[in-house]
C-alpha cells in the first residue's frame, strides 16, 4: 500500500478515551479522513468528545450499539489489546465475526510486524494502513479499544 492510497482512506472510531482517541489524533495528523459513530451528546468517559473529531452521534445511548454500527460500516476491524478480550472488546471481535468482517486482534504485549499488518489489509481488501504506535509506559495502556477501519466515503451517512 502506497502513501497516496493511504491518503484516500478513513479511520472510524467511536471516540472514547485511550487507543481510540489516540488513533483519531494520529489519523488527523497524517491527513487521513476520520469519523465514526459516537453516543448522543458525544459522551465519553472524560466528558464530551471534542468537536475536532468529526463523529456522528448515533440514536442509541449504549456503547454496544455504537460498536456494532462502526463494525458494520467498516471494511475490517483492528483490535489493540492487552491480556484477555473482555467487555466491549470481546463484543467487537464477536460481532465482526458474526457479520463476516475481517478482524485482526493484536496483543500489544507481543506486537505485530508491519508487513503482517499490511498483509492483513491487502488480503482482506481493507484500504487503510495506519502505523499505530503504543507507548507501554502510558498509564492507559490497559484501556482496550476497537478501531473500525472503513473506506473513505464508502459508508458516509450510514453511521
49 in any annotated domain: yes
Supply the range of the domain harboring residue 36.
Answer: 3-151
Q: Is the dihedral of CA 33, 38, 42, 43 positive or negative?
A: negative
Total structural domains in the chain?
1
Which residue in the block uniquely carries the three cell numbers 452521534? Answer: 57
pTM: 0.72
Buried b (16+ CB within 10 A) or exposed e, 37-73: bbbeebbbeeeebeeebebeebeeeebeebbbbbbbb
In a domain, 72, yes or no: yes
For residue 32, the tally of other CB atoms under 10 A from its CB is: 20
CB atoms closer than 10 angstroms to residue 9:
25
In a domain, 158, yes or no: no
pLDDT truncated to tens, each residue of the chain (159 aa)? Answer: 555 555 566 788 888 887 788 888 888 887 888 888 899 999 988 999 999 999 999 998 888 888 888 888 888 888 887 788 888 888 889 999 999 999 988 887 887 887 888 788 889 888 643 333 333 334 343 333 344 444 444 443 332
Contact 20/37 with Cβ under 8 angstroms?
A: no
Amino acid at each position: 500500500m502506497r502513501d497516496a492510497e493511504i491518503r484516500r482512506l478513513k479511520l472510524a472510531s467511536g471516540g472514547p478515551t485511550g487507543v481510540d482517541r489516540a488513533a483519531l489524533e494520529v489519523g488527523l495528523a497524517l491527513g487521513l479522513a476520520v469519523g465514526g459513530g459516537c453516543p448522543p451528546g458525544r459522551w465519553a468517559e472524560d466528558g464530551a468528545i471534542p468537536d475536532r473529531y468529526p463523529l456522528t452521534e448515533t440514536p442509541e445511548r449504549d456503547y454496544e450499539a455504537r460498536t456494532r454500527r462502526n463494525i458494520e460500516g467498516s471494511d475490517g476491524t483492528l483490535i489493540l489489546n492487552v491480556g484477555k478480550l473482555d467487555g466491549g472488546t470481546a463484543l467487537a471481535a464477536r460481532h465482526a465475526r458474526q457479520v463476516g468482517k475481517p478482524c485482526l486482534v493484536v496483543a500489544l504485549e507481543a506486537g505485530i510486524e508491519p508487513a503482517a499488518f499490511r498483509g492483513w489489509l491487502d488480503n482482506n481488501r481493507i484500504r487503510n494502513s495506519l502505523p499505530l504506535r503504543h507507548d507501554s509506559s502510558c498509564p492507559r495502556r490497559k484501556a482496550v479499544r476497537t478501531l473500525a477501519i472503513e473506506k473513505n466515503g464508502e459508508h458516509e451517512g450510514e453511521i
